[in-house]
Amino acid sequence: MIHLDIQNQKTSFSPGETIAAKITWQLEKSVNAIELRLFWHTNGKGTQDINIVNTLRFTQPPQRDTRPFQFQLPSSPYSFSGKLISLIWAIEAVTDPLDEAGRQEFILSPTGREILLCDTFPANPVNG
């Protein structure tokens, strides 16, 4: 079992903010390492794209432990959801060799909410 807890149960972060969390694991057998990944991926009609932004690695971990960690978030891309594409941010922990994994999604956005691509904006030009 691997469990990820973001500090204060926070689910939304501003660009550039630090995400603080702790990882708790209880494994049935020893593993070489546990890797933490900060990444985003796309969902929707297009072929999925995944980009791992940062990683942390605990080598030769005990079978049971809890450790805090933090990642500095980049300025973009924002979490968004549209008619064809969604972009989701998450932190993920996987064992090496791959046996168990845990994952926690969050939103990266300056507004605190996922950007919804469904608005049509009114005309507002200033003609010169």
Partner 1 sequence: MFLFFGVFLGLGLILTCPFLIHPLWKQRAAQDWPRMPCTIVSSEVKRHSGGDSTTYGIHIVYRYHFNNRMFQSDRYDFITGSSSGFKSKKMAVDAHPPGSQRVCYVNPVNPSEAVLRRDLHAGYLAGIIPVVFTVVGAAGLFVVRRNKLNVGAGGSNKIFGLGAPPNPGSLPPHSALPAILAPKNSPLKKFIFFFVFAVIWNIVIFIFASQLLQGWQKGAVDWSLALFFIPFFLAGIVLPGIAFYHLLALANPRPRLGVSSQCVPLGGSFTLRWEFSGRTSRIRRLHIRLAGQEEATYQRGTSTITDKAIFATLNIFDTTNPLEMTSGQATVVVPSSSMHSFASSNNKIVWFIQLHGEINWWPDIKEEFEIVVLPLEAAQ
Annotate 6-36 with b (16+ C-beta within 10 A) or e (fewer).
Answer: beeeeeebeeeeebebebebebeeebeebbb
How many residues of this chain interact with partner 1, rule: CB under 8 A?
36
85 near partner 1, judged by CB under 8 A: yes
99 near partner 1, judged by CB under 8 A: no
88 near partner 1, judged by CB under 8 A: no
From residue 13, how far is each of 29, 38, 48, 89, 109 by CA, in Å?
A: 35, 13, 23, 10, 6
Nearer to partner 1, 98 or 121 (CB): 121
54 near partner 1, judged by CB under 8 A: no
Stretch that binds partner 1, among 29-37, 44-52, 59-67, 92-100 (CB under 8 A): 44-52
42 near partner 1, judged by CB under 8 A: yes
Alpha carbons within 13 angstroms on the beta-carbon side of residue 34 total 28
Q: What does the binding site for partner 1 look like in residue numbers (CB under 8 A)?
A: 14-16, 42, 44-49, 51, 75-78, 80, 82-85, 87, 110-111, 115, 117-128
